[in-house]
């Protein structure tokens, strides 16, 4: 099993490019792994960190498993040598993405981070705290999530940062580009979602 990244491992991650996938992972599933593998390949990443959040501030605590259970779920679902599961947000005492990214850049000054998220989150990222600062802190890669194109035609983030959007064929330039810079990766869709998994479990219980 991979050693989970911690704030005190700066040297181990120097001169590496890391994709950051944050979320509740309630539970982690094949859809998370699916977009992570495509990000590794299409962006030329050295690793992807699954940052299991202590509590997503935009989500209800109802039906939320403990951090320990969600970490275990992520460890089981990741199943790849370049995917690392971490509770680094709890260790750094951050809750909002903008604060997490700021802290990571302080703790890992020689690591190049790329923020990863699905098109479903692109649609509502403008509701996040200081969302524009996120795009100015690190490069961003958006990966297709069902339904295809649901957030690409029109959304505040696309309109605000349209001038810094790279075409997919230039996606690997994110590794050497200064923000704001981002791309949208059109990949095969994986229909799994944590919500659907939880609903099925309720029906079976």
pLDDT at residue 42, rounded to an integer: 98
pLDDT in tens, 96-126: 999 999 999 999 999 999 999 999 899 899 9
pLDDT at residue 204, rounded to an integer: 55
Domains of the chain (ranges, CATH numbers): 15-204 (3.40.50.620)
> What does DSSP assign to residue 169?
G
pLDDT at residue 146, rounded to an integer: 80
pLDDT at residue 63, rounded to an integer: 79
Does the reported pTM lie above 0.75?
Answer: yes
pLDDT in tens, 175-189: 999 999 999 999 999
Closest CA to 181 of 120, 128, 137, 144: 137
Give the residue, 83 or 2, on which the prediction is more confident.
Answer: 83
pLDDT in tens, 1-22: 577 899 988 999 999 999 999 9
Report the percentage of the chain scoring pLDDT > 70.
87
Confidence label for 145 from pLDDT (cuts 50, 70 and 90): confident
Confidence label for 92 from pLDDT (cuts 50, 70 and 90): very high
Mean per-residue pLDDT, 126-139? 97
């Amino acid at each position: 099993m991979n050693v989970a990244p911690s704030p005190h491992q700066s040297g181990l991650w120097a001169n590496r490019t890391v994709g950051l996938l944050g979320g509740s992972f309630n539970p982690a599933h094949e859809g998370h792994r699916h977009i992570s593998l495509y990000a590794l390949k299409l962006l030329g990443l050295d690793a992807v960190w699954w940052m299991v959040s202590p509590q997503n501030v935009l989500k209800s605590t109802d039906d939320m498993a403990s951090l320990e259970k969600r970490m275990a779920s992520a460890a089981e679902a990741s199943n790849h040598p370049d995917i690392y599961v971490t509770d680094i947000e709890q260790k750094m005492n951050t809750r909002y993405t903008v604060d997490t990214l700021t802290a990571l850049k302080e703790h890992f000054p020689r690591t190049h981070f790329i923020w990863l998220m699905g098109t479903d989150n692109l649609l509502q990222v403008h509701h996040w705290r200081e969302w524009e600062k996120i795009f100015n802190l690190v490069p961003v890669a958006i990966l297709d999530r069902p339904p295809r194109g649901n957030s690409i035609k029109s959304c505040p983030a696309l309109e605000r940062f349209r001038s810094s959007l790279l075409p997919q064929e230039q996606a690997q330039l994110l590794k050497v580009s200064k923000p704001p810079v981002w791309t949208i990766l059109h990949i095969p869709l994986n229909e799994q979602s944590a919500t659907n998994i939880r609903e099925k479990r309720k029906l079976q219980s």
